[in-house]
Amino acid sequence: MEMEETPMESETDAQPQETPHTRWQRRMATRPVAPVQTTWGMEVAPLYTPEDVQHIDYDHDLGYPGEFPFTRGVYPSMYRGRLWTFREYAGFGTAEDSNARYRALLDQGMTGLSVAFDLPTQIGFDSDDPRVGEEVRRVGVAIVLLFVLSISQPGSTFATLICKHAARGQQRSIRS
């Protein structure tokens, strides 16, 4: 059984001497769409064509993946050679409790961990400092020494564990 080919609407309503762009504009006029803006208020056009980027200097404004200005990512092969990291934010109680949670997350396919530090750790206090009171391990794991981190990550398969520090948004690279 042979299927009958049905022409698309754009093929049947073409006007003489009409370009694909003017045909698109005419067809969009019959079904207008609401304006769209980015979260910072920049208007987003319903269609971008090569005409919209003629003024761009490819090397300066766009660049290559893995090179300044990094508009196409920080890795030369981008996420074809290195897949996205799937992170879960976790950490509570003792280092052993957190380790059990991290292991469960890794077993479920997480490829990165964002460690939730307790408040004393976030502001630079040791867990035994009398000023921290009952805040130790209340909302995260206490990491006061690299030794404690080694307890929370024994046998880690990662050469480097990247911890996102919740309070400052910093990334710290800690050798395991």
CA distance linking residue 73 with residue 69, whole number of Å: 9
**How buried is 94 (Cβ within 10 angstroms: 0-12 exposed, 13-18 middle, 19+ buried)?**
middle
- For residue 157, the 8-state DSSP code is S
**Beta-bridge partners for 171:** 164
Provide CB contacts within 8 A for 174, sequence distance 6+: 146, 149, 160, 161, 163
* DSSP-derived 3-state class of residue 114: strand
115: its two tokens = 């460690």
Rg of the chain in Å (alpha carbons): 27
Looking at residue 1, what is its pLDDT?
Answer: 55
Nearest by Cα to 123 from 115, 135, 107, 111? 135
pLDDT, tens digit (0-9, with 9 covering 90-100), for 37-85: 999 999 999 988 888 889 999 888 888 888 888 888 888 887 777 777 7
* DSSP-derived 3-state class of residue 45: coil
pTM as predicted? 0.43
**Beta-bridge partners for 172:** 163
Lowest mean pLDDT among 17-26, 75-84, 98-107: 75-84
Percentage of the chain surpassing pLDDT 70?
A: 72
